[in-house]
Amino acid sequence: MREELIVAGFGGQGVMFTGTLLAQAAMLEGKFVTFFPAYGAEVRGGTANASVIISDEEIGSPLVSAPDTLIILNQPSLDRFHRKLKKEGQLVVNSTLVQPEALKNIVQGVSQVPASEIAEQLGNIRVANMVALGTYLKIKPVVKLSSVNEALATLLTGKKAGLQEINKKAIKAGYEFSK
Amino acid sequence: MKKLMKGNEALGEGAIKAGCAAYFGYPITPQNELTEYMSKRMLEEKRVFLQSESELAAINMVLGASAAGVKAMTSSSSPGISLKQEGLSYMAGCELPALIVNVQRGGPGLGNIAGSQADYFQATKGGGHGDYHLIVLAPSSVQEMFEMPAQAFALAEKYRNPVMILADGVVGQILEPMEEVKVDSTYHGDRSWVLDGCQGRAPRKIRSLLMEEGALEEHNIKLQKKYKVIKEQEQRCQKQNTEKADIILVAYGTSARVCYSAMLAARKKGLSVGLLRPLTLWPFPVKAIAELTGTAKAFLTVEMSAGQMVEDVKLAVNGRKPVHFYGRAGGGMPTEEEILKEIEKI
């Protein structure tokens, strides 16, 4: 098993957290994993992206040039990354923030989830990233949901411990959305 | 138990576990997480953390701490490391042990903040003025970012010489699982030179200004003798599939990771390719490379630079086999596919 993934969105949408969470879950399952954040002039409101590689074997280069999966949280990220996706790749897109016509020329598998909308209904728009992650994990179970929940408990501690529940709910909602 | 850690932070924790008692630094991307990590952890450990007013101040604080016998370090990225060169030359002249970390970014000038390996010449050939060498270590994983500070301090103290860890933006920024293995935190070597107060003994002097007739030449002869011993005893590298391989890739740090992927891809295609990864850039693993000139048909050096380490590979191969080069400068990064193409050209 080898999965190469890029997560991209606005700064503040939790792109880095999504990637880190996935990496943490993969590590808990004993897999090899690398997380490489784009660390340019990314600021809240600008674009942010991160590359994650999960593998059963040792990972050389941590860079992802042709991802198996793209998790796209906003329109500018789709424009920037969709051409890099592998032919047989999978696109998970936050359809609340992406125009439907932008997807019409994409030949790869597209899974649209209104992540921001679902997150808002759950009471916290900031967990849209987790909704998209849930949808992704339904389509491609690269790690178990239980590992992701365990990873949440590791990453959200102290003052942030109270956020574990809403994140879990969001992941579940995204997972169940993708039937 | 494994822990997911960022390269820069793993280096900080590794230095703390190695007994680093004082950190001096000034912020710069892509090594900021290291400075930030130390600002928190060094205080927790009740050790010294100081954000200096400049890079020059930081390196000279390291010089002072080291002269007082304290395990001290500083870190920066390329432009900041250029500013520290005067202090490094003085420390090499004074034979002071310390750890200097360079998380390289694109140059020349202020350049950019992407990962790069264009400071190889500066790190291994002197950098500052005078006939001197730093010992230079090159990590390529978060695990090595954690383990190398202890090795660096041990070498620094054993030889009374500043040691540089030459990392790059990529290995500094990635997160990977790593094991917090036990590292050596003892002080190596004698301390008969340390300036720790001369009550009840004759005063000691540490200086790099030697004006007496012949004194500086004599000092240089002594330094060169030391460098010769280091060259003989401390060459380190990792070899993968190099035995009987036709083509040997030579790369360090992040480039070596890309080469590892390219090597596996090439071997899948039936090509006989191995990888030699220097762990010490100075002393350069001349012996290991020279040994392979018997069996290898060609060498391919890959760097995130316009071609620097390739000169040392050529010196080690000494004309016995062709040495090729592939590199990307200015923060560009070679890809697995590009390296594979270069291999197939040979």
Label residue B39 left, alpha or beta by phi (over 0 means left) and psi (-120 to 50 means alpha): alpha
pLDDT digits (tens, 9 = 90+) for A56-67: 999 999 999 999
Confidence class for position A101, pLDDT limits 50, 70, 90? confident
Distance separating alpha carbons of residues A134 and A128, to the nearest angstrom: 10
pLDDT value of residue A178 = 82
Chain A residue numbers with beta carbons less than 8 Å from the beta carbon of B175 are: 20, 23, 34-37
- Is B257 close to A62, i.e. CB distance below 8 A? yes
Mean pLDDT to the nearest integer, B181-209: 94
CA dihedral B318, B320, B322, B328 (to 10 degrees): -30
Q: Sorting pLDDT into bands at 50, 70 and 90, what band is A4?
A: very high
For residue A13, give the nearest of A48, A40, A62 by alpha carbon. A48
Per residue in B214-261, pLDDT (tens digit) is 999 999 999 999 999 999 999 999 999 999 999 999 999 999 999 999
Do the Cβ atoms of B177 and A65 come within 8 Å?
Answer: no
For position A175, what pLDDT does the model report? 97
Residue numbers in A near B254 (CB within 8 A): 61-62
Chain B residue at shortest CA distance from A28 = B2
- In chain B, what are the domains? 2-197+221-233 (3.40.50.970), 238-345 (3.40.50.920)
Residues of B in contact with A24 (CB under 8 A): 4
CA distance B123 to B283: 11
Tell me which of A44 and B332 has the higher pLDDT. B332
Alpha-carbon distance A4 to A81, whole Å? 13
From A152's Cα to the closest Cα of chain B, the distance in A is 13
Q: What is the rounded CA–CA span in Å between residue B257 and residue B167?
A: 13
In Å, how far is A33's CA from the nearest CA of chain B? Answer: 6
Report chain A residues whose CB lies below 8 A from the CB of B173. 36-37, 39
Which residue carries 């086999």 as its tokens? B321
Over 70: is that where the pLDDT of B327 sits? yes
CB contact under 8 A, B4 and A39: no
What part of B 237-266 touches A (C-beta under 8 Å)?
A: 254, 257-262, 264
pLDDT tens sequence across B283-297: 999 999 999 999 999
**Residue A47: pLDDT over 90:** no
User: Cβ of A63 and B176 within 8 Å?
Assistant: no
Cβ contact B261–A61 (<8 Å): yes
Provide the percentage of residues in chain B whose pLDDT is more than 70.
100
The residue in chain A having the minimum alpha-carbon distance to the alpha carbon of residue B258 is A61
User: In this model, does residue A112 exceed pLDDT 70?
Assistant: yes
Tokens 């047989």, residue located? A88
* Structural domain harbouring A155: 2-177
Interface check for B173 against chain A (CB to CB < 8 A): the answer is yes
DSSP string of B58-112, one letter each residue: HHHHHHHHHHTT--EEEEE-HHHHHHTHHHHHHHHHHT--EEEEEEEBS-STT--
Contact A24 B4 (CB under 8 A): yes
Q: Do A61 and B174 touch (CB under 8 A)?
A: no
The residue of chain A with its CA nearest to that of B113 is A40
Q: What is the CATH number of the domain that holds A73?
A: 3.40.920.10
Task: Write down the ipTM of this complex.
Answer: 0.94
CB contact under 8 A, B335 and A23: no
pLDDT band at B138 (very low <50, low <70, confident <90, very high): very high
Residue A105 has pLDDT above 90, yes or no: no
Of chain B residues 26-45, which have a CB less than 8 A from chain A?
A: 29-30
Model confidence at B143, pLDDT cuts 50, 70, 90, reads very high
Res A179 pLDDT > 80: no
Quote the pLDDT of residue B245.
98
d(CA B298, CA B274): 11
Q: What is the pLDDT of residue A100?
A: 84
Instruction: Report the percent of chain B where pLDDT is more than 90.
Output: 99
User: What's the pLDDT at A41?
Assistant: 62
Is the pLDDT confidence value at A8 over 90?
Answer: yes
Residues in chain A within 8 Å Cβ distance of B258: 60-61, 63
Q: Which among A23, A39, A65 is the nearest to B113, CB-wise?
A: A39
Residue A140 confidence (pLDDT) above 90:
yes
Mean pLDDT of B35-51: 98
pLDDT band at residue B3 using 50, 70 and 90 as cut-offs: very high
- The count of other CB atoms within 10 Å of the CB of residue B269 is 10
Q: Is the pLDDT of residue A42 over 60?
A: no
What is the Cα–Cα distance from A29 to B203, expressed in whole angstroms? 59
Residues of A near B (Cβ–Cβ under 8 Å) read: 20, 23-24, 27, 32-37, 39-40, 58-63, 65
Q: Is the pLDDT of residue B69 over 80?
A: yes
Number of domains into which chain A is organized: 1
Q: What band does A122 get if pLDDT is binned at 50, 70 and 90?
A: very high
Q: What is the pLDDT of residue A43?
A: 62
> How far is A123 from chain B, CA to nearest CA, in Å?
30
What's the rounded mean pLDDT across residues B133-143?
Answer: 98
pLDDT tens-digit map of B75-127: 999 999 999 999 999 999 999 999 999 999 999 999 999 999 999 999 999 99
Query: What is the arithmetic mean of pLDDT over B59-79?
Result: 98
Query: Quick check: A63 and B177 CB within 8 A?
Result: no
pLDDT at A170 over 60: yes
Inter-chain contact B177–A36, Cβ cutoff 8 Å? no
Segment A150-168, tens digit of pLDDT: 999 999 999 999 999 999 9
The beta-strand segments (E) located in chain B are 2-6, 22-25, 48-51, 72-76, 98-104, 135-137, 162-168, 175-179, 237-240, 247-250, 273-278, 280-282, 298-303, 323-327
Residues forming beta bridges with residue B240, ordered by sequence position = B275
Strand B247-250 and strand B298-303: the pairing is parallel
Predicted pLDDT of residue B238: 98
Mean pLDDT score of chain B:
97
Nearest to B175 among A20, A32, A61 (CB): A20
Name every chain A residue with its beta carbon within 8 A of the beta carbon of B262. 60
Whether the CB of B113 is below 8 Å from some CB of chain A: the reply is: yes
Rounded distance between C-alpha atoms, residue B296 and residue B198, angstroms: 58
